[in-house]
Amino acid sequence: MHQVLVVKDKRYTQHLDGIFHLENPKRIKAIHTMLQDPSLAGRWSEVIPRLASPEELAWVHTPDYIEQVALTAGKPLFAFDLDTQTTETSYDTARLAVGGVFSLIDEIYKEKANRGFAFVRPPGHHAEPDKAMGFCLFNNTALGARYLTHHWGAKRVMIIDIDAHHGNGTQAAFYDTDEVLYTSWHQFPGYPGTGKLGEVGRGNGEGYTVNVPLPRGHGDRDFARIIYFLLKPVALDYRPDMILVTCGFDLYQHDRLAEMQGTPAGYAMITHLLLDIAESVCGGRIVFIMEGGYSIKGIQECGLRVMQELCDIPSLNGKQLTKIKETNISRFSVLKKVMEVQRKYWRTLR
């Protein structure tokens, strides 16, 4: 049985508390309820998050932008745009979200465990270096990757973004570097409008951005095929020091802001396959970081299946995985096109 580390904190409910918003404190409360499921008893350990410093935030964000967010502290309500607001404690809560990712990474590098989940909010992958957007203030995953390279000396970090929306901010942070490989599958067309097939990076980063834009309606088997036939071969070629998973629960079929057909069983399969990649390339070191997901039922049910897989509680039918591996991908036109684009950069796809 693997030891699983978990970042959770009641302070994550303070952001937008009392404000009508889809990205609200009920999302964290749903996680706390899920973690009390009897199947998880005694199988995970809590990690206490710390506040990220302004200097650490500047690894991804501009000083002017960090100051803009800091100046919202103490204000009852401030709007960066129609979607993205702050309340009195949002600045510190967002710093705590980033710091929660840092704290979890620290524990893994101290060899307390090799896997964990940071259940944090506000989410982060839409936050660009100089702009808040899409409910996001600071880019938790991008900053986690920079923490790995700056603090722990990681040479290569792989980000796998499984949120239903493209992580424009994360892509922007690493578009011109090979230190971080950003991969994403997401609904397209859809918010925020980025993540096209031809967005592959530039300069030293050319080939280190892998986008899989999916029309609405794709489901569990398609997500699993993307991991098995595309992301695993790329990971075997890249050999990252750690994998960070930007984990949105909005692939769920009844999510309020996306139109995918994912199920809790699909999240179990996704997690199982991602753990297999981590074991194959980086000694099992993998961190999941909570992003979107706007169905409370979806967060609880999909989150439970992710945690059960992390805790080595088997729930998958072996025949399901066999069917994935025996798929004729020529029938999956989007994946086929992505592989044709990426073959130029990854020998394992040739």
Domains and CATH numbers, the chain: 4-349 (3.40.800.20)
Name residues of the chain where pLDDT drops below 50. none
Question: pLDDT at position 2, please?
Answer: 84
Question: pTM of the entire structure?
Answer: 0.98
Question: pLDDT at position 72, please?
Answer: 98
Place of tokens 């990690």: 47
Our answer to whether residue 2 is catalytic in this structure is: no
Residue 186's φ and ψ, nearest 5 degrees, are -165, 160
Instruction: Check residue 228 and report its DSSP letter.
Output: I
Given 15, 126, 165, 272, the catalytic residue: 126
Q: Per-residue pLDDT tens for 55-92?
A: 999 999 999 999 999 999 999 999 999 999 999 999 99
In the chain, which residue ranges form alpha helices assigned H by DSSP?
A: 26-34, 54-57, 63-70, 90-109, 140-151, 168-174, 220-226, 232-238, 264-281, 296-310, 318-325, 333-342
Question: pLDDT at position 331, please?
Answer: 87
- Average pLDDT of the chain? 97
Q: Distance of CA 309 to CAs 3, 116, 295, Å? A: 12, 11, 21
Residue 38: cis peptide before it, omega within 30 degrees of 0: no
Question: pLDDT at position 148, please?
Answer: 98
Q: Do 2 and 43 contact (CB within 8 A), yes or no?
A: no
